[in-house]
Structure 1
Amino acid sequence: MGCGSSVPVEAVDQDRQQQQQQQQGPASPKQQGAAGNAAESAESAKAKTTRARRLSYISNDANGAAVNAPPGAAAPAAANPGGRSGNTRARRLSYVTNDPNATPNNLKYPGDAEGHEEQELEGGDEPTVQGQLAPEVSRVKNLYMRHPFDPPCPSTPSKEQERRTLRVNVACMSRAGREPGFKKTNQDNCFAFEKYITEDQSLFGAMDGHGPHGHLVSGYVKQHLPIILVNHLTLEKDVKKALTQGFCEVDRSLANSRIDCEFSGSTSVVSYLKGKTLTTAWVGDSRGVLGRESKRGWEAIDLTTDHKPTAPEEKARILKANGRVERLVDEMGQPMGPFRVWLQYAWIPGLAMSRALGDVLAHQVGVTSEPDHTTIDLTPQDKFIVLASDGVWEFISSKEAVEIVAQYDSAEEACRQLVDEAYQRWLTEEEGVVDDITAVVVRFIHPS
Structure 2
Amino acid sequence: MGCASSKSNAEEPTGSAPEKANPMPAAAPAAAAPKVETTPDETPPAVQPTTSASTLDADEVRNQRMSVRYQAKELEERALRNSGRRSSAPFDKSRIGTHTRHGVMPGPRGSANAKINQDRGVLCWPFHGTLNEALLCVFDGHGPKGEKASEFCMTTLPEMLEADHAALAKDPVECLSRNIIKMDEMFLTGEHKNIAMSCGTTSNVLFMSGAEMWVACSGDSRAIKASRVGGKLIAQDLSNDHKPDLPLEQARIESKGGTVTPSGPNGRPSRVWANGRVGLAMSRSIGDGECKGCGVIPDPEIQKFTIAPPKSETGDGDLFVIVASDGVWEFISSQEAAEIIAGTEHASNACEVLVQEAAERWRKEEGNYRDDITAIVTFLPFLEADGDEASADDVHFDVDATYINVGAPGISKMASGEMSPPVKGTTAPVAASSTESDEDEGFARRRLSVTNHFGDNDDDWESLGDDVEV
TM-score, normalized by the shorter chain, greater than 0.5: yes
User: 2:184 corresponds to which letter in structure 1?
Assistant: D
> Which of 242, 256, 259 pairs up with 1:324?
259
Q: Specify whether residues 151 and 244 from structure 1 end up closer, same or farther in structure 2 by C-alpha distance, changes over 3 A only.
A: farther
Q: Specify whether residues 310 and 327 from structure 1 end up closer, same or farther in structure 2 by C-alpha distance, changes over 3 A only.
A: closer
Contact preservation (8 Å) 1:178, 1:433: yes
> Which of 149, 160, 180 pairs up with 1:217?
149
What is the CA-CA distance between 1:72 and the residue it aligns to? 6.7
Q: Specify whether residues 348 and 170 from structure 1 end up closer, same or farther in structure 2 by C-alpha distance, changes over 3 A only.
A: same
What is the CA-CA distance between 1:402 and the residue it aligns to? 0.9
Contact preservation (8 Å) 1:178, 1:435: yes
Task: Output the CA distance in 2 between the equivalents of 1:383 and 1:72.
Answer: 42
Q: Specify whether residues 86 and 197 from structure 1 end up closer, same or farther in structure 2 by C-alpha distance, changes over 3 A only.
A: farther
Task: Output the CA distance in 1 between the equivalents of 2:263 and 2:60.
Answer: 9
Note if 1:401 corresponds to 2:334: no
Note if 1:198 corresponds to 2:129: yes
What is the CA-CA distance between 1:169 and the residue it aligns to? 2.8
**Partner of residue 295, structure 1:** 230
**Partner of residue 132, structure 1:** none
Alignment of 1:85-104 (within 5 A): 88=61, 92=65, 96=67
Alignment of 1:228-307 (within 5 A): 228-236=160-168, 237-259=170-192, 260-307=195-242
> Which of 372, 376, 384 pairs up with 2:301?
372
Task: Output the CA distance in 2 between the equivalents of 1:90 and 1:269.
Answer: 30
The CA deviation string for residues 167-215 of structure 1, in whole angstroms up to 9 with x for no partner, is 9932211110111224411111111112111312100011111111111
Q: Specify whether residues 151 and 284 from structure 1 end up closer, same or farther in structure 2 by C-alpha distance, changes over 3 A only.
A: farther
Contact preservation (8 Å) 1:146, 1:171: no
Report the number of matched residues: 320
Task: Output the CA distance in 1 between the equivalents of 2:361 and 2:367.
Answer: 10
Match of 1:342, SS state, is strand
User: 2:187 corresponds to which letter in structure 1?
Assistant: L
**Partner of residue 169, structure 1:** 95
What is the CA-CA distance between 1:303 and the residue it aligns to? 0.2
The CA deviation string for residues 24-62 of structure 1, in whole angstroms up to 9 with x for no partner, is xxxxxxxxxxxxxxxxxxxxxxxxxxxxxx9xxxxxxxx
**Partner of residue 49, structure 1:** none
Contact preservation (8 Å) 1:176, 1:184: yes
What is the CA-CA distance between 1:230 and the residue it aligns to? 1.6
Contact preservation (8 Å) 1:273, 1:279: yes
Q: Specify whether residues 217 and 276 from structure 1 end up closer, same or farther in structure 2 by C-alpha distance, changes over 3 A only.
A: same
The CA deviation string for residues 268-307 of structure 1, in whole angstroms up to 9 with x for no partner, is 1110001110110011110000011222321101101100
Q: Specify whether residues 202 and 150 from structure 1 end up closer, same or farther in structure 2 by C-alpha distance, changes over 3 A only.
A: farther
Task: Output the CA distance in 1 between the equivalents of 2:260 and 2:334.
Answer: 27
Alignment of 1:334-413 (within 5 A): 337-343=268-274, 346-380=275-309, 381-413=317-349
Contact preservation (8 Å) 2:102, 2:114: no
Match of 1:195, SS state, is coil
**Partner of residue 40, structure 1:** none
User: 1:349 corresponds to which letter in structure 2?
Assistant: V
Contact preservation (8 Å) 2:223, 2:321: yes
Alignment of 1:27-42 (within 5 A): none
Contact preservation (8 Å) 2:204, 2:218: yes
Alignment of 1:30-109 (within 5 A): 88=61, 92=65, 96=67
| Pairwise CA RMSD | 3.6
Contact preservation (8 Å) 2:46, 2:262: no
Q: Specify whether residues 416 and 73 from structure 1 end up closer, same or farther in structure 2 by C-alpha distance, changes over 3 A only.
A: closer
Can you give the 5+ residue segments of structure 2 that lack an aligned partner in the other structure? 1-34, 36-43, 51-55, 108-112, 310-316, 386-470
What is the CA-CA distance between 1:355 and the residue it aligns to? 0.2
Identity of aligned residues (%): 33
Task: Output the CA distance in 1 between the equivalents of 2:196 and 2:72.
Answer: 13
What is the CA-CA distance between 1:396 and the residue it aligns to? 1.1
Task: Output the CA distance in 1 between the equivalents of 2:58 and 2:361.
Answer: 23
Match of 1:338, SS state, is coil
Task: Output the CA distance in 1 between the equivalents of 2:214 and 2:263.
Answer: 36
Contact preservation (8 Å) 2:71, 2:115: no
Task: Output the CA distance in 1 between the equivalents of 2:368 and 2:162.
Answer: 41
Q: Specify whether residues 338 and 352 from structure 1 end up closer, same or farther in structure 2 by C-alpha distance, changes over 3 A only.
A: same
Q: Specify whether residues 437 and 218 from structure 1 end up closer, same or farther in structure 2 by C-alpha distance, changes over 3 A only.
A: same
Q: Specify whether residues 146 and 439 from structure 1 end up closer, same or farther in structure 2 by C-alpha distance, changes over 3 A only.
A: farther
**Partner of residue 371, structure 2:** 435
Task: Output the CA distance in 2 between the equivalents of 1:418 and 1:269.
Answer: 18
Task: Output the CA distance in 1 between the equivalents of 2:228 and 2:84.
Answer: 30
- Pick 1 or 2: higher relative contact order, CA cutoff 8 A, min separation 6: 2
Q: Specify whether residues 402 and 76 from structure 1 end up closer, same or farther in structure 2 by C-alpha distance, changes over 3 A only.
A: closer
User: 2:154 corresponds to which letter in structure 1?
Assistant: K
What is the CA-CA distance between 1:409 and the residue it aligns to? 2.2
Q: Specify whether residues 445 and 432 from structure 1 end up closer, same or farther in structure 2 by C-alpha distance, changes over 3 A only.
A: same
Q: Specify whether residues 322 and 168 from structure 1 end up closer, same or farther in structure 2 by C-alpha distance, changes over 3 A only.
A: farther
Q: Specify whether residues 222 and 88 from structure 1 end up closer, same or farther in structure 2 by C-alpha distance, changes over 3 A only.
A: farther
Task: Output the CA distance in 1 between the equivalents of 2:224 and 2:342.
Answer: 13
Contact preservation (8 Å) 2:103, 2:114: no
The normalised TM-score by structure 2 is 0.61
Contact preservation (8 Å) 2:127, 2:135: yes
**Partner of residue 178, structure 1:** 104
Task: Output the CA distance in 2 between the equivalents of 1:276 and 1:201.
Answer: 10
Match of 1:144, SS state, is coil
